[in-house]
Structure 1
Amino acid sequence: MVVVSIPDSSMAPSGAGIEGIETVVWDLSGIPPRAGEIEVVVAPYMTPKASLAAVRHTPNARLVQLQSAGYEGIPEVLAGIGRADVALANAAGVHDASTAELAVGLAITALRGLDEHARAQVEGRWERPHGTPSTSLADRRALVVGYGSVGRAIAARLIPFEVAVTAVATRARAGDDLVERVHGTDELPALLPEHDLVVVVVPLTEDTRHLVDEAFLSALPDGALVVNVARGQVADTDAILAHAGRLRFALDVTDPEPLPADHDLWRAPGVVITPHVGGASTAMAPRMRALLRRQLEVLAAGGSALNVVHGDPGALGGSGTLK
Structure 2
Amino acid sequence: MAPSPVAAVPLDLLPHLDPVDGVEVVPYDPQDRGTVPGGGREVDVLALPMIAGPWLRRMGEVPGLRAVVLASAGFEHALPHVPDGVRVANAVGVHDTATAELALTLMLAAQRHLPHHVLSQARGTWDRSTPPREPWRSLADSTVLVVGYGGIGKALTRRLLAAECEVLAVASTDRPGDDLVERVHGVDRLPELLPRADVVALSLPLTAGTQGLLDARALALLPDGALVVNVARGGVVDTGALLAECVAGRLRAALDVTDPEPLPDGHPLWSAPGVLVVPHVGGASPASYPRMGRYLHRQLTTYRDTGDLEHVVHG
Task: Please show how residues 103-122 of structure 1 align to structure 2 within 5 Å.
Answer: 103-122=103-122
* CA distance in 2: counterparts of 1:19 and 1:41, whole angstroms: 16
2:129 aligned residue: 129
Counterpart-to-counterpart distance in 2, 1:52 and 1:108: 35
Distance (Å, rounded) in 2 between the aligned partners of 1:138 and 1:227: 16
Q: Which residue number in structure 1 is paired with residue 89 of structure 2?
A: 89
Provide, for residues 86-144 of structure 1, a one-character-per-residue CA deviation record: whole Å limited to 9, x for no partner: 00011010001001111111000001001111111111111112696521101101100
* Superposition deviation, residue 304 in structure 1: 3.3
Residues 1:250 and 2:250 aligned together: no
Deviation, 1:26, is 4.6
Q: Distance in 1 between matches of 2:243 and 2:13?
A: 42
Give the alignment partner of residue 158 of structure 2, picking from 156, 163, 172.
156
Of all paired residues, the percent bearing the same amino acid is 47
Query: Partners of 1:132 and 1:308 in 2: how far apart?
Result: 46
Distance 1:137 1:126 in 2: 23
Helix, strand or coil: the match of 2:270? helix
What SS does structure 1 have at the residue aligned with 2:149? coil
Q: Which digits, 9 at most, give the CA deviation of each residue in 1:214-243, with x for residues without a partner?
A: 011100000111100000111111111100
Distance (Å, rounded) in 2 between the aligned partners of 1:133 and 1:242: 21
Question: 1:141 matched to which residue of 2?
Answer: 143
Aligned counterpart in structure 1 of residue 27 of structure 2, from 24, 27, 34: 24
Alignment partner, residue 40 of structure 2: 35
**Cα contact 2:146–2:203 (8 A) shared by 1:** yes
Is the aligned partner of 1:269 residue 2:282? no
Does the aligned pair in 1 maintain the 2:14–2:27 contact within 8 Å? no
RMSD over aligned Cα, in angstroms?
1.8
Q: Match for 1:8: what amino acid?
A: L
How far apart, CA to CA, are the structure 2 residues paired with 1:264 and 1:303? 49
Equivalent in the alignment of 1:4: 7
1: CA distance, partners of 2:165 / 2:27: 47
Q: Distance in 2 between matches of 1:13 and 1:19?
A: 18
Query: How many residue pairs align between the two structures?
Result: 306
Which residue of structure 2 lines up, in the alignment, with residue 300 of structure 1? 304
Q: Determine the structure 1 residue equivalent to 2:229.
A: 227
1:171-192: CA deviation from partner (whole Å, max 9, x where unpaired): 1111111111111111111111
**Distance (whole Å) between structure 1 residues aligned to residue 259 and residue 39 of structure 2:** 39
| Counterpart secondary structure, 1:157 | helix
Task: Identify the range of structure 1 (210-219 vs 124-133) with the bigger mean alpha-carbon deviation.
Answer: 124-133
Cα distance in 2, alignment partners of residues 243 and 176 from structure 1: 34
Segment of structure 1 superposing worse, 27-36 or 237-246: 27-36
* Offset at residue 248 of structure 1 (A): 0.9
| Stretch deviating more after TM superposition (52-61 or 200-209) | 52-61
Question: Is 2:59–2:81's contact at 8 Å kept on the other side of the alignment?
Answer: no
SS for the counterpart of 2:50 is coil
Unaligned runs of 5+ in 1: 312-323
Q: Is the 8 A contact 1:143 1:167 kept in 2?
A: yes
Aligned-partner residue type, residue 228 of structure 1: N
In the TM superposition, what whole-angstrom CA distance separates every residue of 1:44-85 from its partner, at most 9, and x where no partner exists? 22322x64231222231101110001100422222xxxx220
Q: Is the 8 A contact 1:87 1:308 kept in 2?
A: yes
What TM-score do the two structures reach when normalised by structure 1?
0.90
Normalising by structure 2, report the TM-score: 0.92
In structure 1, the residue matched to 2:75 is 71
Write the mapping of 1:159-308 to structure 2, written as runs, cut at 5 A.
159-244=161-246, 245-302=249-306, 304-308=308-312
